[in-house]
């Protein structure tokens, strides 16, 4: 059984960090927690589902996103055009 050394809550063995404070779990119960040991409160547990992480796109303005999308689109079409032209040349 793993415990958070700061909060004193019991953590699931698969939990790499305490969801409350982020501390690395320890194998032994901390002395402060051994008296009134409690499980991690279910209402504070992470909701089921994918974890949404911040991406570099989150910091961009709408106009910057549009420009980036256009640049990527241009790059894709540019590569498609070049490969098509090279393919034609090799056939003829």
Pairing of β 10-11 and β 2-3: antiparallel
Compare residues 17 and 65 and give the one whose CB is closer to Zn ion.
17
Q: Site residues for Zn ion, window 58-87 (CB under 5 A)?
A: none
Is 20 an interacting residue with respect to Zn ion (CB under 5 A)?
yes
Compare residues 12 and 21 and give the one whose CB is closer to Zn ion.
21
Number of residues that bind Zn ion (CB under 5 A): 7
Is 18 an interacting residue with respect to Zn ion (CB under 5 A)?
yes
Quote helix, strand, coil % in the chain, to nearest 5.
Answer: 45, 5, 50
Q: Which of 12, 21, 24, 85 binds Zn ion (CB under 5 A)?
A: 21
Strands (E) across the chain are located at 2-3, 10-11
For 46, list phi and psi in degrees, rounded to 5: -60, 140
What's the closest the beta carbon of residue 12 comes to Zn ion, in angstroms? 13
Contact footprint for Zn ion (CB under 5 A): 4, 6-7, 18, 20-21, 23
């Amino acid at each position: 059984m793993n415990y958070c050394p700061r909060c004193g809550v019991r953590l699931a063995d698969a939990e790499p960090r305490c969801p409350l404070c982020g501390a690395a779990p320890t194998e032994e119960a901390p002395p402060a927690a051994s008296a009134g040991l409690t499980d991690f409160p279910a209402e504070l547990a992470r909701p089921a589902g994918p974890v949404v992480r911040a991406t570099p796109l989150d910091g961009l303005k709408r106009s910057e996103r549009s420009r980036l999308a256009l640049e990527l689109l241009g790059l894709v079409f540019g590569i498609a055009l070049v490969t098509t032209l090279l393919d034609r040349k090799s056939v003829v």
